[in-house]
Structure 1
Amino acid sequence: MKRQISHRIPILILALSPFVMVALAVCSVFYGSKSISLSTIWDAFVRFDPNHIDHQIVIHSRLPRAIGALLVGAFLAISGALMQGVTRNYLASPSILGVSDGSAFTITLCMIFMPNASSMEMILMSLVGSALGVAFVYGIASVIPGGLSPVKLAIFGTIVGTFLSSVSMALSTYFQISQDISFWYNARLHQVNPEHVKLAIPFAIVGILLAMLVASKISVMALGEEVARGLGQRTKVVRGIATISVIILTGISVALVGKIGFVGLMIPHITRFLVGMDYRWVVPCAGVIGAMFLSFSDIISRFLNMPFETPIGVVTALFGVPFFLYLIRTRGGGKHA
C-alpha cells in the first residue's frame, strides 16, 4: 500500500524553495577561488564598473554560473521525472539513456563542420542531438525481446552513450578541437555563456509548459498502459509531448553547461518520496529540488580541493552512483510504479 502524503508537503516545498534558491545563488556568487567582499559584490550590481576586475567576475562569471546551475538542475530533474513517469522505468534519466550524449555528439559535429555557428545554432543542434539519442536507444530496445525493461534499457542507453561519446572524442582529436569540446563533456559551470542563457529561456518555457500540460496524464499512465487506455488516455500523444519536453530541456541543458549525470535519476525518486505519485506536484517540485541540488553541488565543488575546483560531475556522481546501485539492488528489473 502506498503511503498517503498531504498536499501541504509539496506546497511547503514550492513556497520555501524561492528563499532557498536565492540563498544558494548568493552563496554561489560570494564563494570562489578569488575572495570578493560583499560590499564589492553589491557595488557590482548597483554601480557596475566595467574597468573593475572584481565587478567583471561577479557579473559575467559568477552570476551566470549561479543562474545556470539553478536552471540546469531544474531542467534535468523535470526531464528525468517525465522519462520515469511515461516509461514506468525507475532507471530512466537523460544521462543514462543517451539523451545527453546525443546532444554533445551533435555539438561536436557542429563545432567541426560549422565552426562559426551562432549561439542559437548551437542550441538547435543540441536539441537535434537529444532527439537522436532518444531515437537510438528506444529504437534498439524496441527490436530486442525484453529490451524495454529498466535494466536492459539502461544498458542500451549506456552502450549508445558510450558509442556517441567515443565517436565525438575521436572526431575532436582528429580535427584538433579536443580542448573546445571538453567543455561539453566535463560540465564546466564556471564557463556558462550569458548569451546562451538568454536564448535558452524561451525554449525552457516551452519545455516546462509541455511538462505541466501532460503532468496529470502521466499520473494516470503510472497505473499501467491498459488502465490508462481504459480511462480514455491517449498514451501515444502523452508520450510524444513528454518526449518533446525532455528533448528540449535536456538539449538546452547540454548547450548551457555540458553533460551532468545523475540529477535526472535521483531527484525524481526523492521528489516522489516527498510528494507522492501525483505528477501535477512531482514535475514542479522536482524542478525546484533539482535546481537546489545542482546549485548546492556546485558550491560544494569549490571546497573539496581548494583552491582548485572539483568538476561538478564528480560531485553529482558521489551522490548518484550509490543511489544508482541502491535502485538496482532494491528494485531489480521491475517497474517503478
Structure 2
Amino acid sequence: MMKKGRLNYITTLILSICLLLVVFLVSILYGEANINVSTIVEAILHYNPKIEQHNIIDEIRIPRNIGAILVGISLATAGAVIQGVTKNSLADPSLIGLNSGAAFMLALTFAFYPTAPFLMLMFSGFIGALLGGVIVLMIGRSRSDGFNPMRIILAGAAISAMLTALSQGIALIFKLNQSITFWSAGGVSGTTWPQLLWAGPVVLISLSIILGMSKQLTILNLGESLARGLGQNVALIRGVTLVMAMILAGIAVAMVGQVAFVGLLVPHIVRYLVGTDYARVIPMCAICGGILVLIADTLARMLGEAPMGALISFIGVPYFLFLVKRGGRLS
C-alpha cells in the first residue's frame, strides 16, 4: 500500500509539472499577438531585439508568466502553512490580514517614497504582512484552546477591513488612487526581469525552509499536545513557518497586489489529491498554485487585461461559502 501511495504521489506530481509546462507554453502562444512555437524557440535561443515578437516573448510574456507562477507558489504555500499551523481549514493569507497588511505598508511606501525600488517594496510587503498577521493571530489565539478558527476569521475580517480603509485613506491623501487601484485589482502585467531576480531567490529559499520543516508541520497539524509529546519545539516550528509564510505573502502582494483565495483553494485541492503529509502537500501546493494563477492571468489577458484577482474570486468566494457551510470540511 505504501509503494502504491508513493507511486500515485509521484505520478500526480509529474502530471502536475507537465500541466504547468503546457499552461506556460499556451500562455506565451496566445494573446493580442498570437505567436507560434518556432518563434518562441528562436526568441529564446537567438534573441533579436529588432524583431517585435521576440521582444513580446522575452520582455513581456515570459517574465509575466514566471511572475504569475511565483505568486501562485507564494500564496498557495503560505495558505497551506497557515492552515496547518492554526489548524483552521478556512485560513488564507487574504483572510487573516497578511494581504491587507502588506497592501497598507505598500501604500505608505508609495506615499513617502514613490520611486522605491522593488527590493524595498518586497521588504515593505513583508513588514505589512507581519503586522497584519501578528495582530490577527494574537486576537485569534486563546490561552485555553490555542488558535480558535472562528475567532481568527472574525479578527481577520475586522483587521483586513481596517487596514484596507487605512490604505484607501492614504491613497486619497497622497493622490495614489491609480497605484492603489492596480494593486487592489491584482495583476502581473508589469512584471520585469529585475523584479524576478529579487523575488525568485527569496521565494525559493522560503519554500525550501518550509519544505525542510514539512515533517514537523505534519506532526503539529495533528495537535500541539502530540507534537510536544514527540519532542517537537512547537513555538519554534510555528514561528519559523509563519514568518516564511508572511515573507511569501508580502512578496506576492508586492508583485501582484491583493489576490485572495489562492491560499484557500489550492491546499484543499492538494490534500484531496495527495493526503495530509506536508512533505507532499508543500511541493504540490507550489505547482498547483502556479498553475491556478497562470491560468487566471492568461484568461485575464485574453479578456482585455481583466482583473486577475476578480477571476480567482469568482471561484474562491463560492468555495469559501461551501467550506463555511461544511464547517471547514470537504466531507
> Which category describes the TM-score, using the shorter chain as reference length?
over 0.9
CA distance in 2, matches of 1:143, 1:224: 15
Q: CA deviation at 1:146?
A: 8.0
Q: CA deviation at 1:181?
A: 2.5
Corresponding position of 1:328: 324
Corresponding position of 1:237: 236
Alignment of 1:18-57 (within 5 A): 18-57=17-56
- Judge conservation of contact 2:141–2:152 (CA < 8 Å) in 1: no
The residue type paired with residue 56 of structure 1 is N
The residue type paired with residue 14 of structure 1 is L
* 1:315-337 per-position Cα deviation (integer Å, ceiling 9, x unaligned): 111211111011101126x8x9x
CA distance in 2, matches of 1:54, 1:155: 49
Counting matched residue pairs gives: 328
Q: CA deviation at 1:153?
A: 1.1
CA distance in 1, matches of 2:247, 2:97: 14
Corresponding position of 1:86: 85
Query: TM-score scaled by structure 1?
Result: 0.91
Residue 204 to residue 138, structure 1, CA distance change in 2 (3 Å)? same
CA distance in 2, matches of 1:58, 1:101: 33
Alignment of 1:145-160 (within 5 A): 148-160=147-159
Secondary structure in structure 2 of the residue aligned to 1:310: coil
Alignment of 1:83-232 (within 5 A): 83-142=82-141, 148-232=147-231
CA distance in 2, matches of 1:154, 1:193: 35
Secondary structure in structure 1 of the residue aligned to 2:5: coil
- Judge conservation of contact 1:97–1:153 (CA < 8 Å) in 2: yes
Residue 116 to residue 309, structure 1, CA distance change in 2 (3 Å)? closer
The residue type paired with residue 89 of structure 1 is N
Structure 1 residue runs without a partner (length 5+): none
Corresponding position of 1:298: 297
CA distance in 1, matches of 2:214, 2:295: 27
Q: CA deviation at 1:28?
A: 1.0
Q: CA deviation at 1:211?
A: 0.7
* 1:225-250 per-position Cα deviation (integer Å, ceiling 9, x unaligned): 11111111111111011111101111
Structure 2 residue runs without a partner (length 5+): none
Q: CA deviation at 1:9?
A: 2.5
Corresponding position of 1:58: 57
Q: CA deviation at 1:113?
A: 1.0
- Judge conservation of contact 2:69–2:290 (CA < 8 Å) in 1: yes
What is the RMSD of the two structures over their aligned residues, measured on CA atoms?
2.2
Q: CA deviation at 1:143?
A: 7.0
CA distance in 1, matches of 2:144, 2:232: 26
Q: CA deviation at 1:145?
A: 9.2
Q: CA deviation at 1:260?
A: 1.0
Residue 319, structure 1, aligned to residue 315, structure 2: yes
Corresponding position of 1:282: 281
Q: CA deviation at 1:261?
A: 0.8
The residue type paired with residue 44 of structure 1 is A
CA distance in 2, matches of 1:33, 1:324: 33
The residue type paired with residue 309 of structure 1 is E
- Judge conservation of contact 1:146–1:152 (CA < 8 Å) in 2: no
Secondary structure in structure 2 of the residue aligned to 1:159: helix
Corresponding position of 1:258: 257
The residue type paired with residue 69 of structure 1 is A
Residue 10, structure 1, aligned to residue 6, structure 2: no
Q: CA deviation at 1:39?
A: 4.2
* 1:283-302 per-position Cα deviation (integer Å, ceiling 9, x unaligned): 11111111112112222334
CA distance in 2, matches of 1:272, 1:83: 14
The residue type paired with residue 222 of structure 1 is N
CA distance in 1, matches of 2:53, 2:46: 12
CA distance in 2, matches of 1:215, 1:237: 13
CA distance in 2, matches of 1:43, 1:6: 41
Q: CA deviation at 1:37?
A: 4.1
Corresponding position of 1:70: 69
CA distance in 1, matches of 2:272, 2:37: 38
Q: CA deviation at 1:173?
A: 1.7
CA distance in 1, matches of 2:164, 2:17: 36
Moved more, 113-122 or 123-132: 113-122
Q: CA deviation at 1:144?
A: 10
